[in-house]
Amino acid sequence: MGVDKVWGVVPYGKSSIMNDFLKMDIFFFITSAVVVLFAILGAVVLWRLARVLKNIEHISEQVAAESDTIRADLAEVRGDIRKGKGRLKSLFSFFGKTAKRASKDT
């Protein structure tokens, strides 16, 4: 019994080397295809993420602007209450302004 039969060693002949190179070519082709696929998928995910972040920024700007106007309206209501003007009248004017602004924005 020779070493070749015990260990299953195939002598490096012409066909064995070609098979190894063919296996390497197939491996690198598949790896390259997967890398390109992941790159395209990553680009799409980053593009969508950028759009979502842009929308979030727009919404946060709107919320900030609206909170500033509500803060100004509340300061006016507080001023009216401190001056002794009608409390219900101040609240109704506050809610009236808020309702007008909400209907105008939609």
Which residue has better confidence, 95 or 8?
A: 95
Which residue has better confidence, 37 or 72?
A: 37
pLDDT for 70 beyond 80: yes
Q: pLDDT tens-digit profile of 76-90? A: 877 777 776 656 666
Q: Please enumerate, as own/partner, the contacts of 100-105 that have beta carbons within 8 Å and a separation of 24 or more.
A: 101/66, 101/69
Q: Are 98 and 73 in contact (CB under 8 A)?
A: yes
Query: What's residue 7's pLDDT?
Result: 53
Rounded to an integer, the average pLDDT of 19-35 is 90
CA angle 42, 25, 29 (to 5 degrees): 20
The candidate with the shortest Cα–Cα distance to 66, out of 102, 40, 18, is 102
Rounded to an integer, the average pLDDT of 54-72 is 92
Average model confidence (pLDDT) across the chain = 79
Query: What's residue 100's pLDDT?
Result: 72
Query: What's residue 35's pLDDT?
Result: 98
pLDDT for 93 beyond 60: yes
Torsion sign over Cα 79, 82, 83, 86: positive
